[in-house]
């Protein structure tokens, strides 16, 4: 029997190690940007070609490296940050893994040009498949330029798992923003395929937030600033009116390192309690500085998940700091803790009228008797609606959509008039027949109708486009512009004709025929927000997320008045759907109340 255990060759071991560090182009971007920050640079340029698959280059004006250090940097476990095991728990720098450049060199072709201020010449090094191919002196500016080309050229299986260029570019944008947001005193630029996506001048944190997230926040940021012996918290939160359906504009940094923490996010959400809708998310960019010994940043390979020694204290400080900031800016009322104790125990103080009690009172028949006048015309006696089973029989041909606005529904000529139909609370449509009545939730029903209409368009029947007489432009944040670029082919099938116009701007040449002219910009902006909201669910394809986003965004909302014809159209279109009983997300579209069950309720 021969021995079967053997040591792996260095290049194979490096490629395996690289799998933990360099999972996609964005991983390499993160490592290179953090190394540039650690080098003391105040100007950092990121250059990308082919979404990082062809080229990722970072140029900085930092300290640069000596010839020996430049060569050593590509060795595994090489680092300037750790000299003994205790240093591992006191790290304050960004790039410290000691694997980054070795991993990058294991899965790409790397060219490094670097020079220190005190050296007359710099050094140029080429590394491929972990092997140094060339090393020679070179004329260079102080700082470093590192370019990695043909990512995963020697690991084709890994390259095949990469997503589309637009999807990979979005990941790169995310990593770039996280580093740039943390260091507003550094100039950053980001160029993709020759087009500059970001040009971020040095400035304050507030200026950097506005540069990245858009001018809409310029007058809507609330400063957070609390200093304690244990930790310091500073940054900004958005005023309640800036809350969105997506978590996209939320950034937490611990000792200037971006982290993901559902626990701390919950602390901020609690501070905004009852100030924003339950399904909305506030904007925040918050920094926590504390002793590195109180934090374990080695619990996850990407260092984006960390563990606090006493997370309850941090939670309490974060919640308190945000609440205090909102109170200072007169957004939320402050509490007076000096009230006399006897007064506080009175029912009027200790048991105020809650929203639940208000709702119960306002929905009572007695309350409505006195407040809802002129409603008698809703009570109708006739009933020529077809039998319930007719609703479930899908017509041979799905009715085509005619002109429709965001606040109205189409009416089909082939629909027979229905007399016993009415709207309740501007949210529900009630339809009566001989066996009982049907209660339809108008927004949910319309969402199902639109979703199946869009599905049909994607299935080979593109929707008609209405050309704009006066094309409008839509300006987006760089990250949203990259996202829209990814969605353009599918949007075209759905009737949207858009063209890039440079500088994160798109020209809207045409929209679906049922979109009212003038609404197109709002529709696209809200669609992007909803798309990002769905993006957390990995089981959906990008096309599925787009269909659901547009259906949700364009569905007639609760609180909208419908005419009788629009209600008739809603009912017919709903029961022409393949799955009429739920929204794409599984919410019910209607419920049935049978007459015999109603009779039982009243002992008849």
Burial class of residue 351, CB neighbours in 10 A (0-12, 13-18, 19+): exposed
Question: Is the predicted pLDDT of residue 229 greater than 50, yes or no?
Answer: yes
List Cβ neighbours of 466 (8 Å cut-off, separation of 6 or more). Answer: 495, 510, 511, 512, 513, 515, 517
Confidence of residue 338 (pLDDT cuts 50, 70, 90): very low
φ, ψ (nearest 5 deg) of residue 357: -65, -40
Confidence of residue 349 (pLDDT cuts 50, 70, 90): very low
The listed range with the strongest mean pLDDT (117-131, 236-250, 393-407) is 117-131
Q: What b-and-e string marks burial along 108-117, b requiring 16 or more CB atoms within 10 Å of the CB?
A: bbbbbbbbbe
Question: Cα–Cα distance between 424 and 441 in angstroms, integer?
Answer: 10
The confidence score (pLDDT) of residue 582 equals 94
Question: Is the predicted pLDDT of residue 30 greater than 70, yes or no?
Answer: yes
Helix (H/G/I), strand (E/B), else coil: 71? helix
Confidence of residue 395 (pLDDT cuts 50, 70, 90): very low
- Rounded to an integer, the average pLDDT of 63-89 is 70
- Rounded to an integer, the average pLDDT of 123-127 is 95
**pLDDT, tens only, 523-542:** 898 888 888 777 655 567 88
Of 264, 394, 237, 208, the closest CA to residue 323 belongs to 237
Question: Cα–Cα distance between 415 and 401 in angstroms, integer?
Answer: 13
Which three-class secondary structure string do you get for 368-425? HHHHCCCCHHHCCCCCCCCCHHHHHCCCCCCCCCCCCCCCCCCCCCCCCCCCCEEEEC
Residue with the bigger pLDDT between 546 and 357: it is 546
**pLDDT, tens only, 251-288:** 999 989 898 888 899 999 999 988 888 878 899 999 99
Q: What percent of the chain has pLDDT over 90?
A: 44
The confidence score (pLDDT) of residue 343 equals 39
The alpha carbon dihedral of 158, 20, 262, 284 has a sign of negative
**pLDDT, tens only, 532-585:** 777 655 567 888 889 998 998 889 999 999 999 999 999 999 999 999 999 998
Of 271, 269, 313, the closest CA to residue 291 belongs to 313
The confidence score (pLDDT) of residue 502 equals 81
The confidence score (pLDDT) of residue 430 equals 95
Question: Is the predicted pLDDT of residue 166 greater than 60, yes or no?
Answer: yes
The confidence score (pLDDT) of residue 77 equals 57
- Rounded to an integer, the average pLDDT of 76-97 is 52
Residue with the bigger pLDDT between 96 and 458: it is 458
Question: Cα–Cα distance between 6 and 504 in angstroms, integer?
Answer: 54
The confidence score (pLDDT) of residue 16 equals 67
Q: Are 14 and 106 a contacting pair, CB within 8 Å?
A: yes
- Rounded to an integer, the average pLDDT of 320-347 is 60
The confidence score (pLDDT) of residue 75 equals 78
Where does 206-328 sit in CATH, by number? 3.30.230.10
The confidence score (pLDDT) of residue 536 equals 57
Question: Cα–Cα distance between 1 and 20 in angstroms, integer?
Answer: 35
**pLDDT, tens only, 358-378:** 555 455 444 444 444 444 333
- Rounded to an integer, the average pLDDT of 85-104 is 59
Q: Are 187 and 44 a contacting pair, CB within 8 Å?
A: yes
- Name which CATH class applies to 10-200: alpha beta
Question: Is the predicted pLDDT of residue 105 greater than 50, yes or no?
Answer: yes
The listed range with the strongest mean pLDDT (254-258, 302-306, 402-406) is 254-258
Where does 377-604 sit in CATH, by number? 3.30.1370.100
Instruction: Count the Cβ atoms, other than its own, within 10 Å of residue 335.
Output: 8
Confidence of residue 20 (pLDDT cuts 50, 70, 90): low
Residue with the bigger pLDDT between 287 and 352: it is 287
Question: Cα–Cα distance between 569 and 402 in angstroms, integer?
Answer: 11
Residue with the bigger pLDDT between 381 and 37: it is 37
Question: Is the predicted pLDDT of residue 334 greater than 70, yes or no?
Answer: no
CA distances from 416 to 261, 420, 473 (A): 55, 12, 42
Question: Is the predicted pLDDT of residue 292 greater than 90, yes or no?
Answer: no
Question: Cα–Cα distance between 158 and 148 in angstroms, integer?
Answer: 16
The confidence score (pLDDT) of residue 113 equals 96
The confidence score (pLDDT) of residue 2 equals 73
Beta strands in 92-213 (DSSP E): 109-115, 122-128, 131-138, 143-149, 187-192, 195-200
Q: Where along the chain do its domains lie?
A: 10-200, 206-328, 377-604
Mean per-residue pLDDT of the chain? 80
Which ranges of 9-99 would DSSP assign to H, the alpha helix? Answer: 10-21, 25-38, 67-72
């Amino acid at each position: 029997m021969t021995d079967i255990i053997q040591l792996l060759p260095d290049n194979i071991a490096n490629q395996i190690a690289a799998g933990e560090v360099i999972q996609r182009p964005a991983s390499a971007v993160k490592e290179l940007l953090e190394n540039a920050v650690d080098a003391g640079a105040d100007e950092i340029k990121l250059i990308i070609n082919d979404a990082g698959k062809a080229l990722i280059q970072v140029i900085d004006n930092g300290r640069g490296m000596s010839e020996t250090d430049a060569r050593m940097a590509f060795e595994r476990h090489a680092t300037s940050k750790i000299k003994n095991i205790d240093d591992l728990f006191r790290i304050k720098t960004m790039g410290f893994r000691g694997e980054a450049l070795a991993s990058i060199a294991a899965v790409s072709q790397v060219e490094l040009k670097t020079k220190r201020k005190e050296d007359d010449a710099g050094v140029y090094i080429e590394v491929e498949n972990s092997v140094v191919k060339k090393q020679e002196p070179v004329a260079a500016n102080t700082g470093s330029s590192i370019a990695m080309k043909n990512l995963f050229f020697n690991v084709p299986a890994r390259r095949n798992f990469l997503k589309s260029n637009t999807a990979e570019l979005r990941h790169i944008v995310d990593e770039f923003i996280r580093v740039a947001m943390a260091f507003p005193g550094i100039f950053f630029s980001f160029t993709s395929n020759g087009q500059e996506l970001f040009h971020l001048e040095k400035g304050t944190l507030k200026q950097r937030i506005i540069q990245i997230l858009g001018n809409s926040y310029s007058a809507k940021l609330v400063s957070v600033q609390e200093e304690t012996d244990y930790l310091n918290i500073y940054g900004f939160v958005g005023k309640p009116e800036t809350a969105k359906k997506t978590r996209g504009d939320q950034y937490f940094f611990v000792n200037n390192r971006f982290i993901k923490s559902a626990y701390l996010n919950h602390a901020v959400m609690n501070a905004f309690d009852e100030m924003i809708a339950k399904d909305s998310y506030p904007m925040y960019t918050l920094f926590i500085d504390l002793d590195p010994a109180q934090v374990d940043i080695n619990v996850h390979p990407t260092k984006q998940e960390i563990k606090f020694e006493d997370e309850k204290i941090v939670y309490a400080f974060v919640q308190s700091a945000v609440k205090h900031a909102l109170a200072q800016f007169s957004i939320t009322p402050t509490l007076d803790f000096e009230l006399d104790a006897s007064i506080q125990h009175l029912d009027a103080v200790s048991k105020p009228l809650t929203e639940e009690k208000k709702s119960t009172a306002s929905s009572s028949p007695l309350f409505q008797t006195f407040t809802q006048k002129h409603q008698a015309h809703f009570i109708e006696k006739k009933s020529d609606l077809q039998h319930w089973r007719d609703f479930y029989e899908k017509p041979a041909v799905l009715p085509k959509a005619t002109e429709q606005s965001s606040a109205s529904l189409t009416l089909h000529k082939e629909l027979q008039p229905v007399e016993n139909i009415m709207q309740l609370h501007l949210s529900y449509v009630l339809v009566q027949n001989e066996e009982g009545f049907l209660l339809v939730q108008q927004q949910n029903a319309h969402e199902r109708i639109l979703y199946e209409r869009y599905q049909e368009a994607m299935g080979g029947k593109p929707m008609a486009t209405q050309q704009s007489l006066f094309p409008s432009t839509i300006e987006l944040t760089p990250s949203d512009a990259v996202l829209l670029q990814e969605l353009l082919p599918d949007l075209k099938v759905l009737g949207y004709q858009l063209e890039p116009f440079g500088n994160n701007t798109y020209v809207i040449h045409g929209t679906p025929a049922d979109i009212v002219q003038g609404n197109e910009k709002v529709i696209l902006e809200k669609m992007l927000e909803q798309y990002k909201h769905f993006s957390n669910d990995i089981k959906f394809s990008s096309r599925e997320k787009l269909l659901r986003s547009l259906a949700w965004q364009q569905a007639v909302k609760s609180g909208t008045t419908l005419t009788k014809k629009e209600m008739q159209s809603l009912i017919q279109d709903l029961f022409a759907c393949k799955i009429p009983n739920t929204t794409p997300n599984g919410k019910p579209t209607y419920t049935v109340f049978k007459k015999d069950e109603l009779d039982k309720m009243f002992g008849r």
